[in-house]
Structure 1
Amino acid sequence: MAPTRPSVYARRGVVCTSHPLAASAGLRILQAGGNAADAAIATAACLPVLEPCSNGLGSDAFALIWDGTTLHGLNGSGRAPAAASADALRERGLTEVPLFGWDAVTVPGMVRAWADVHARFGRLPFADVLAPAIEYAEQGAPVPPMVAWGWGRGVRAAEDRLAAQPDPACAHFAALFGPAPEVGELRAFPAMAATLRAIADSHGEDFYSGDLATRIVTFAEQTGGLLAASDLADHRSQWVEPISARYRDHEVWEIPPNGQGIAALLALTILDGLPAEQVADWHVQVEAVKLALADTHAVVADPDVVDVPVAELLSAAHADRRRALIGDVAVAPDPVDPRASDTVYLCATDDDGMMVSFIQSNFHGFGSQVVVPDTGISLQNRGSGFSLVPGHPNELAGGKRPFHTIIPGFLARGGEAVGPYGVMGGHMQAQGHVQVALHTVDGRLDP
């Protein structure tokens, strides 16, 4: 029999993510009277403890929340430090933003995203929602095979890099994450538990303007980072209007730029103009995604800084022009940076009809490998997603958000929710969203 994953059905709520203990934490919250927002946050808070090689307390996050009648979008991505500049890196002879160290660090937005989703949609006390994550961090949890593999890969890579290029900003990495655990080994994070407790008690404020913020900024000052107290204190999530495209009789929803969700919508708009039997050809799917990603990487950046032509990209006329380029022979693609690779996705629903699509990420492995001592806070390397090409829309600048790969998705039909969906895998995510939509709508496969 071919390997498969069984479908799960439930009447009163479902929680889904990559780690069963995180999903079970979300389910516990539902059983305790919480709603889908509470369950999603509880699950999300467990994942830095259970899968630190994919996300950490210094990550970014995005969410789509269906409240039963309306879809809401949250952009929880952080900005580059105000003092950052592309010129400064170019003067050091760099042609791209480094993957590791303080140069790669942007303001972590995930903790604020948890707090903001909870403030608007949560039902249970925030401390109750974060309690399972604190429990796992204090008592430890067994490490499953895939996490052990990713953990080991990341620790070995960090050890090799730091042996060749010592970096005081990364000096505490090994103390937090090393040595790499064996499969089934119990791994606890006491410092992370204390930090999660401070986050729970302050509804996230301590991370941005309290003692935790002071410790982050002090460590940056001591080890060459540009992150300042004002960068953290000024950070806010953004509630945004989700963007959509039709595919057949469905609506596919994404978060608007600075992320790549628009690439999935553009590809689906291109494919929507073709008959199902032609779309079933993998060559056609691949060409549509390549065209969509080429447009996305050319113009998508922080819309607060540059003009991103969302309406034009999603217009029927633009899709017609791009569709006309698809022939029988593959077009050589422009190279795309493949470095982004580590993310966690989760979704939750409840018996009141609320549905949450949520994603958070270190960006690459353990992120920047910058660990704030005695806090359990590891910082993402999302800043390495900036460009150093002068004049590029995604060129690094102080206070600017980088191009983002992580995208939550949502599917509807006739204005009624079908459900949340998402994938993990860096730049592959837009392609993954297209494939999920095609298999669900055309293939009629079980979501």
Structure 2
Amino acid sequence: MNQTYPYPSKRSLTYGRAMALASNPSAAAAGRKILEAGGNAVDASVAMAAAQVVAEPTSNGLGSDLFAIVAMNDVLYGYNGSGKSPAAISLAAMKEKNCEAMPEFGIEAAGVPGAVRAWANIHKKHGRLPFKDVLAPAIEYAEKGFVLSPTVARLWAMELEKRRANQGALYDGFWAQFSFEEKAPEAGDVITFPDMARTLKSIAEDGGESFYEGAIAEKIDAFMKAHGGFMRKEDLAAQKTLEVEPLSLSFEGAEVWELPPNGQGISVLMALEILKHKPTIPDDEKSAHVIAEAIKRAMTDVAKYVADPEFMSLSSEDLLNPEYLKKCSDAIGEKAEIVHYGNPLDRSTVYFCAGDNEGNMVSMIQSNYDGFGAGIVVPETGISLNNRLLNFTFEEGHDNCLAGSKRPYHTIIPGFLTKEGKPYGAFGVMGGFMQPQGHVQTLLQLLRYGRNPQAALDAPRFMWTGDKDLVVEEDYNEKAVEELIRRGHRVIRPPHDLDMGRGQYMLYDRKRKIYVGGTEKRCDGTIAVADSFLYKPFAGK
């Protein structure tokens, strides 16, 4: 493993027999606690998922969706825990409300929550400890308090400011739960969520049955009816976690795995296939341009063609057509272009991962989409609903056009690596449409340039935001930035580092039976090591 650190770093590599990686220390501590209680990687990941809901509510909640790639006994499993749109919603129904696009906040933007059912389903198939024990750390945080970390405090203040205009009965629950005398809490504050604690206890006892088909579902239904929303208890009862076949691509000596649509992970594989034909080197002036153009082409096609698979006009195989992607590579010129989608036939999230002392690994991600999501909380439940329906288009005839009982195009994507068919690593870079761009840029660092996981995450990044616009971090190579401008890119400096992706990388050294981890410098990223000799004896379920 390359031990050099080519970029200014706040962190060193972390090694351990087992570990839990997350964007904040409370979640990582929950994962470690479960590992040390004899739990496996799935138990630890579900514990972190539940803890993130409490400790990082600015990015996810009980109303979230979830995706995961699980490696158990050297076999990969993919899970799609995204929720559908309510059956009653439609373009016509939205136009009756005088909406020409989906409102960013409010009752209309909320999709059916998928995360809670995914926790229960994935745990039932792969978990070792009792489900109630796995959720115990999150319940303790919600009931007795957790200490707020600095990045979440920053996000909290920004999110409340963005939602100041959201007032009235619909938003009362949100302000009651997430503001403290109309202000955001500060780093170091100890915070409790009593309503959330009660809901988490219910989920721990019955595996989410009340959430989807019982008393909690009734409360969500009543809240929606009271405020003119579309979601009903029947939509909740119909929610299913899909077991899906992950997609893969060989790249620079490893196999990169992403989940299939309705997620945007396929764009990572498309961009890497394009870059197979374009040699790049780190901190190089021309390479930055080539990488940006490859990402741009992949994401433009995916925005056009990716939707709920039942509604897609093209298949994953069509989008990964090597001949088409070679043409895309050949089409990259010397100047920045405004790219339109081709013909392949000719925004806020939490990512976390865990590895146990048996070599099992989980790559998991969940999100309310835009910060606190729709900005609404169901009374007495602590459930902050997502605003994932923002990812639908209102363009009639588009594969991703708004309709009832349909999964939207989805931004959240867990990643995974294998070598010679054996699980090698779990990774992810969270953050809306930055996610595939973060995957591509960190994978180039790791696989093509030979950087270690921490250096791959520390490397400065850019984000394509449309047309010829590139948001480029301040510490990006100065000559490369000058060259990007010369080639016609409009370079924009980010106002802060919170939108540039927040990632985790965990690789498995099979020979030594240890993990090597890197965590994000742009947030409160934490790696909690749980060595096997600390494990308590496991007595069985």
Is TM (by shorter chain) over 0.5?
yes
Number of the residue aligned with 1:58: 63
Q: Residue 166 of structure 2: SS of its match in structure 1? A: helix
**Residue from 141, 148, 162 that aligns with 2:146:** 141
Number of the residue aligned with 1:424: 430
Q: How does 1:230-245 map to 2 (within 5 A)?
A: 230-245=234-249
Distance in 2 between residues matched to 1:152 and 1:316, nearest whole Å: 46
**Residue from 40, 46, 49 that aligns with 2:45:** 40
Distance in 2 between residues matched to 1:277 and 1:46, nearest whole Å: 39
Higher helix share: 1
Number of the residue aligned with 1:28: 33
Q: Residue deviations 1:162-213, cap 9 Å, x none?
A: 24xx4x3222111010121012111100110010000000011111001111
- Pairwise CA RMSD of aligned residues? 1.6
Q: Residue 62 of structure 2: SS of its match in structure 1? A: coil
Distance in 2 between residues matched to 1:408 and 1:8, nearest whole Å: 21
Q: Residue 161 of structure 1: SS of its match in structure 2? A: coil
Number of the residue aligned with 2:227: 223
Q: Does 1:314 align with 2:315?
A: no
Q: Residue 9 of structure 1: SS of its match in structure 2? A: strand
Residue 277 of structure 1: how far off its partner (Å)? 4.2
Q: Does 1:75 align with 2:103?
A: no
**What are the ranges of 5 or more consecutive residues in structure 2 without an aligned counterpart?**
1-6, 342-346, 454-541
Number of the residue aligned with 2:159: 154
Number of the residue aligned with 2:171: 170
Distance in 2 between residues matched to 1:369 and 1:419, nearest whole Å: 35
Number of the residue aligned with 1:192: 196
Distance in 2 between residues matched to 1:170 and 1:301, nearest whole Å: 30
Counterpart of 1:76 in structure 2: which amino acid?
G
Distance in 2 between residues matched to 1:408 and 1:141, nearest whole Å: 26
Pick closer, same or farther for the CA change 1:133–1:278 going to 2, 3 Å. closer
TM-score (norm 2): 0.79
Q: Which moved more, 1:299-308 or 1:394-403?
A: 299-308
Number of the residue aligned with 1:443: 449
Distance in 1 between residues matched to 2:403 and 2:425, nearest whole Å: 37
Number of the residue aligned with 2:390: 384
Residue 312 of structure 1: how far off its partner (Å)? 1.6
Q: Residue 133 of structure 1: SS of its match in structure 2? A: helix
Q: Is the 8 A contact 2:278 2:290 kept in 1?
A: no
Residue 278 of structure 1: how far off its partner (Å)? 9.5
Q: Which moved more, 1:354-363 or 1:94-103?
A: 94-103
Number of the residue aligned with 2:117: 112
Q: How does 1:3-14 map to 2 (within 5 A)?
A: 3-11=9-17, 13-14=18-19
Number of the residue aligned with 2:275: 271
Number of the residue aligned with 1:17: 22
Q: Is the 8 A contact 2:64 2:366 kept in 1?
A: yes
Distance in 1 between residues matched to 2:321 and 2:387, nearest whole Å: 33
Q: Residue deviations 1:248-273, cap 9 Å, x none?
A: 22111001000100000000011112
Q: Is the 8 A contact 1:385 1:402 kept in 2?
A: yes
Counterpart of 1:229 in structure 2: which amino acid?
K
Q: Residue 100 of structure 1: SS of its match in structure 2? A: coil
Q: Residue 98 of structure 1: SS of its match in structure 2? A: coil
Q: Which moved more, 1:344-353 or 1:95-104?
A: 95-104
Q: Is the 8 A contact 1:55 1:344 kept in 2?
A: yes
Residue 274 of structure 1: how far off its partner (Å)? 2.5
Distance in 1 between residues matched to 2:179 and 2:10, nearest whole Å: 34
**What are the ranges of 5 or more consecutive residues in structure 1 without an aligned counterpart?**
none
Number of the residue aligned with 1:181: 185
Residue 94 of structure 1: how far off its partner (Å)? 2.6
Distance in 1 between residues matched to 2:278 and 2:419, nearest whole Å: 19
Q: Is the 8 A contact 1:37 1:122 kept in 2?
A: yes
Q: Which moved more, 1:19-28 or 1:33-42?
A: 19-28
Q: Is the 8 A contact 1:258 1:302 kept in 2?
A: yes
Distance in 1 between residues matched to 2:91 and 2:304, nearest whole Å: 18
Pick closer, same or farther for the CA change 1:278–1:31 going to 2, 3 Å. closer
Counterpart of 2:112 in structure 1: which amino acid?
V
Q: Does 1:371 align with 2:374?
A: no
Number of the residue aligned with 1:213: 217
Q: Residue 240 of structure 2: SS of its match in structure 1? A: coil
Distance in 2 between residues matched to 1:67 and 1:287, nearest whole Å: 36
Number of the residue aligned with 2:475: none
Residue 214 of structure 1: how far off its partner (Å)? 0.8
Q: Is the 8 A contact 2:311 2:400 kept in 1?
A: no
Distance in 2 between residues matched to 1:252 and 1:323, nearest whole Å: 19
Q: Residue deviations 1:82-139, cap 9 Å, x none?
A: 0000122234443321111111011000001100110110000000000000000011
Q: Is the 8 A contact 1:90 1:388 kept in 2?
A: no
Counterpart of 1:435 in structure 2: which amino acid?
Q
Counterpart of 2:90 in structure 1: which amino acid?
S
Q: Is the 8 A contact 1:278 1:284 kept in 2?
A: no
Q: How does 1:256-405 map to 2 (within 5 A)?
A: 256-277=260-281, 281-333=287-339, 340=347, 342-405=348-411
Residue 275 of structure 1: how far off its partner (Å)? 2.9
Distance in 2 between residues matched to 1:65 and 1:102, nearest whole Å: 33
Distance in 1 between residues matched to 2:283 and 2:238, nearest whole Å: 46
Number of the residue aligned with 1:434: 440
Q: Residue 249 of structure 2: SS of its match in structure 1? A: strand
Counterpart of 2:413 in structure 1: which amino acid?
I
Number of the residue aligned with 2:344: none
Residue 247 of structure 1: how far off its partner (Å)? 1.1
Q: Is the 8 A contact 1:291 1:322 kept in 2?
A: yes
Q: Which moved more, 1:435-444 or 1:270-279?
A: 270-279
Number of the residue aligned with 2:107: 102
Number of the residue aligned with 2:92: 87
Residue 334 of structure 1: how far off its partner (Å)? 6.2
**Residue from 203, 209, 216 that aligns with 2:207:** 203
Residue 306 of structure 1: how far off its partner (Å)? 2.7
Distance in 2 between residues matched to 1:197 and 1:446, nearest whole Å: 40
Q: Is the 8 A contact 1:279 1:285 kept in 2?
A: no
Number of the residue aligned with 2:487: none
Q: Residue 101 of structure 1: SS of its match in structure 2? A: coil
Q: Is the 8 A contact 1:95 1:389 kept in 2?
A: no
Counterpart of 2:258 in structure 1: which amino acid?
E
Pick closer, same or farther for the CA change 1:285–1:202 going to 2, 3 Å. same
Residue 309 of structure 1: how far off its partner (Å)? 2.2
Q: Is the 8 A contact 1:192 1:375 kept in 2?
A: yes
